């Protein structure tokens, strides 16, 4: 099995899970800007993360890959049993993060060209994205005021995904969203050995070759 990632991209969530679960998956690092990147040949959407199974099947989107990886280790506390309320809650957060936070808010911030062909309008598009990001994060910050993690007082696949976006905010110029609860949560996230391992693997690849293509790591 191979997991296609790009350093610092949303694929970090799936990369963290490989380390959390100790899965024997080859992590292939690709470039998002190179038209020849391998993931563009296997994923019809041309995006990361993409998971290539041994039989050639490709699974895309963190919302599918994270549950799939967790289910490879039945009973893992990172997910919850089929039919349980907790499982539905975890999936609810995955959907919210993918739609409201990632596509709804970060896409206009990171890729304003997809919303307006006129470069002169891009600052306005980014500003709209930042306003939407604040709206999308406010209920998450409120939810976490009385909790350590998103669901069930334990780190789950939903947290693996949320941490990606808090990392983007932490690295963004001008701090687009500041919240003490989310800061404390992100500190907890960054202290997890699996997060440190995935971060170090991606940082090394980022520094050795920013146009990294088809490099592998564990």
Q: Least distance in Å: CB of 61 to ligand GSH?
A: 4
Residue among 7 and 177 whose Cβ is closer to ligand GSH? 7
Residues 6+ apart with CB under 8 A from 42: 4, 50, 52, 58
Residue among 98 and 181 whose Cβ is closer to ligand GSH? 98
- Hey, what are 125's tokens? 């598009």
CB atoms within 10 A of CB 4: 26
Q: Least distance in Å: CB of 30 to ligand GSH?
A: 9
Residue among 62 and 156 whose Cβ is closer to ligand GSH? 62
Residue among 32 and 141 whose Cβ is closer to ligand GSH? 32
Q: Least distance in Å: CB of 161 to ligand GSH?
A: 7
Residue among 49 and 129 whose Cβ is closer to ligand GSH? 49
Q: Are 48 and 5 in contact (CB under 8 A)?
A: yes
Q: Is 11 exposed, middle or buried (0-12, 13-18, 19+ CB in 10 A)?
A: buried
Q: Which residue is nearest to ligand GSH (CB)?
A: 47
Residues that bind ligand GSH (CB under 6 A): 9-10, 32, 46-49, 61-62, 98, 102-103
Q: Which residues on adjacent β-strands are paired with residue 27?
A: 3, 217
Q: Is 112 exposed, middle or buried (0-12, 13-18, 19+ CB in 10 A)?
A: buried
CB atoms within 10 A of CB 21: 17
Q: What is the dihedral of CA 139, 90, 95, 5, to 10 degrees?
A: 110
Residue among 7 and 155 whose Cβ is closer to ligand GSH? 7
In angstroms, the CA 160 to CA 195 distance is 8
Q: Least distance in Å: CB of 21 to ligand GSH?
A: 18
Q: What is the dihedral of CA 9, 15, 20, 23, to 10 degrees?
A: 170
Q: Least distance in Å: CB of 105 to ligand GSH?
A: 11
Q: Least distance in Å: CB of 167 to ligand GSH?
A: 12
């Amino acid at each position: 099995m191979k997991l296609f990632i790009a350093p610092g991209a949303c694929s970090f969530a799936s990369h963290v899970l490989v380390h959390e679960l100790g899965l024997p998956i080859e992590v292939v690092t690709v470039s998002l800007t190179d038209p020849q990147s391998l993931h563009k040949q296997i994923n019809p959407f041309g995006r990361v993360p993409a998971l290539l199974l041994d039989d050639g099947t490709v699974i895309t989107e963190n919302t599918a890959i994270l549950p799939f990886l967790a289910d490879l280790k039945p009973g893992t506390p990172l997910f919850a049993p089929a039919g349980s309320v907790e499982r539905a809650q975890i999936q609810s957060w995955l959907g919210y993060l993918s739609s409201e936070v990632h596509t709804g808010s970060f896409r206009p911030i990171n890729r304003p060209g997809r919303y307006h062909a006129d470069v002169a309008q891009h600052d306005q598009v980014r500003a709209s994205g930042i306003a939407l990001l604040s709206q999308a994060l406010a209920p998450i910050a409120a939810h976490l005021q009385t909790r350590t993690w998103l669901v069930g007082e334990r780190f789950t696949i939903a947290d693996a995904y949320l941490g990606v976006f808090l990392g983007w905010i932490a690295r963004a110029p001008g701090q687009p969203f500041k919240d003490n609860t989310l800061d404390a949560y992100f500190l907890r996230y960054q202290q997890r050995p699996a997060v440190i391992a995935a971060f170090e693997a991606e940082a090394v690849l980022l520094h050795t070759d920013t146009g990294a293509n088809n490099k592998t790591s564990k």
